[in-house]
Chain A
Amino acid sequence: MSDLRLAWRKSLNGVMLTLTGVAAFSVVAVLFLVLGYLIWNGGTSLNLDFFTQLPKGEGETGGGMANAIVGSLKLLALAAVIGLPVGLLAGVYLAEFGGKTFSFLTRYTTDLLNGAPSIVIGLFAFSVAVLPLKHFSVLAGGVALGVMVIPITVRSTEEFLRAVPNSLREGAMALGANKWKTIATVIVPAASGGIITGMLLALARVAGETAPLLFTAFGNQYWNTSWSQPISSLPVMIYTYALAPYDDWHRQAWAGGLVLLALVLIANVGCRLVLNRRGANRSA
């Protein structure tokens, strides 16, 4: 009897453990499938035209996404200008100053903002930056993306500042520096690697966001020339082209997807490798 039960338990053991391996393998396989599909479908469509030409009208073949790529970069630049300083300084506050209740409130609302659906942030940017100015604009898109950058930056800045060993702080104070000098000249530079990678990761995250741009940046078939005018962006173009019936647009959507994914993955892989290496160095 107990032999039978043992045999059952052993075989269950084998089966379940294999299943977990299968699960892990299939999840990783999805990643490679995604990459594979994009490279296969988008790779052949990537040509010089794609990077240098403006989009053509409905149903016409040819053209490219040059203005969308530049547009995304511009939006990111604005998001960085709006979101990164707020994130950095708020992170400094939480790590170095910080009263009890105010810190708690700040962390709580940062989490809240982080969890807010991107479409809701788009609604907010519309109310705040489009309606009053009576214009869809780069500014409104930048505000939406900037707001999304803030919570990610706050969290990573705080984390890396806290990781700086106290010995550095104490050493600086022993030499007579006051608090802000310590922070500015010792602690932040010590954590700078981590903080910068955190910022880059935040930007990589919002680079792919589409929903908040739908009714803020609007879209532009030409080159954008002013912060208060609409602008095209890569994710919105991919979305528009994917839904259309034109094969040429589908081809361009794949190419755009590949470019976007490449940018996001390069940023992520690069940053994480840097972080891992620093983590390893620190503990070594």
Chain B
Amino acid sequence: MKRTLLVVSLLLCVATIVVAQSTLINATGATFPAPIYQKWFEAYHTAHSNVQINYQALGSGAGIAQLTAGTVDFGASDMPMSDDMLGKLKVKALHFPTVIGAVVPTYNIPDVSTELKFTQKALAGIYLGTITKWNDPEIANANSGVKLPGDDIVVVHRSDGSGTSFIFTDFLSKVSPDWKSKVGAAASPNWPTGLGGKGNDGVMGLVKQTPDSIGYVELIYALSQKIPYGAVQNSDGKFLKADLAGVTEAAAGAAKTMPDDFRVSITNAPGAGAYPISSFTWLLIPVQIPDAAKRDAIKGFLNWMLADGQNMNESLSYAKLPAAVVAKEKKQIAMIQ
């Protein structure tokens, strides 16, 4: 007994001392880009072993909230902070776009493995609760040749404050006046119906386990789980399945007219090949970082992210940032004191 106690306490001491010299940076935020962020942070740590970036993916809402409370060093969000939110910050924060991703409607319908096409009205209706069955004409008419069951649709959304929810509801608000008036675009909208899952992975988990369900997740989550996801009707009327080309085209227009604070929405972008539910996602970095080691580490990471990091995007199906945006961001890094 005594010896085990001794061994355990020695191990604890060793564990504490071994990495005592590193800089630990704490961050929290969106699950939308979490797969690529974690890959980045791991790669950066391998290259710079004294920098540890501890990212807990709790949702964009948590990213903004904890940044405002000052309990984390930086945040991450798929929803740009509104002027209201920025006003509440004690230290001003800068938005740094990192990747461009796509939100896809993923579903689990028994015996249906083909790709479904969703009209704008269909998605709005399903999430408003006005379309309740899979064989509803709005869905069936766009998918002639697919046998859809008459089962009730199980709607899955986010239970936590989510940038992915914001992107999805932003899109719905643009294409459905009904949605805009009844619910609107938000990170925690007042969902008319459905089950709540925590994080992109929670939604994916629920959809995977619940027959007849539909949920909205970032592309990589559906791809990695090999769960079918549908094509969405874009502003030109074409049905597009999310892919790098569609997302890049959606961002192309915004790249030319990117505002200085990088806050922009690219849902329902014009263009025949533009995927309609695309979005930038941002790191929210305070403009003043008192701890010099942390500041250098964060600035170093941002520079790395805009160069080497971007080369890793496509392996996880996120689109690279347009060159014009990268150049603008590099200038913004200098603003961090």
Contacts and interface: CB of A to CB of B under 8 A. Distances in A.
B35 interface: yes
B180 interface: no
A223 B69 contact: no
B56 to A, nearest CB: 5
B245 interface: no
Say whether chain A's binding surface is mostly helix, strand, loop, or mixed: loop
A131 to B, nearest CB: 7
B34 interface: yes
18 contacts: A57-B39, A70-B15, A77-B12, A134-B70, A135-B26, A222-B19, A223-B15, A225-B16, A225-B19, A225-B20, A225-B22, A226-B24, A230-B26, A243-B201, A243-B205, A244-B201, A244-B204, A245-B205
Interface string A236-271: 000000011110000000000000000000000000
A24 B69 CA distance: 51
Interface residues of B, number: 38
Given A73-B12, A222-B54, A230-B54, A59 B35 contact: yes
Contact of A135 (B12, B28, B71): B71
Among B56, B198, B224, chain A packs the most CB atoms within 10 A around the CB of B56
Closest 6 CB pairs of A and B: A57-B38, A244-B201, A245-B204, A245-B205, A58-B35, A219-B56
A136 B26 contact: yes
Contacts of A219: 54, 56
A136 B71 contact: yes
B322 interface: no
Interface of A: 56-59, 70, 73-74, 77, 130-131, 134-136, 218-226, 229-230, 243-246
B201 A221 contact: no
B129 interface: no
A245 B26 contact: no
A74 B197 CA distance: 31
Contacts of B26: 135-136, 218, 229-230
Interface string B202-213: 101100100000
Nearest to B28: A218
A226 to B, nearest CB: 8
B199 interface: yes
A73 B201 contact: no
Nearest to A231: B54
A260 B205 CA distance: 23
Given A59-B224, A134-B71, A222 B52 contact: yes
B307 interface: no
Interface in B190-228: 197-199, 201-202, 204-205, 208, 220-221, 224-225
A86 B95 CA distance: 47
Contacts of A59: 35, 220-221, 224
A81 to B, nearest CB: 13
B19 A246 contact: no
Contacts of A226: 16, 24
Contacts of A57: 34-35, 38-39, 42
Nearest to B316: A59
B198 A223 contact: no
Contacts of B71: 130-131, 134-136
Contacts of B15: 70, 223-224
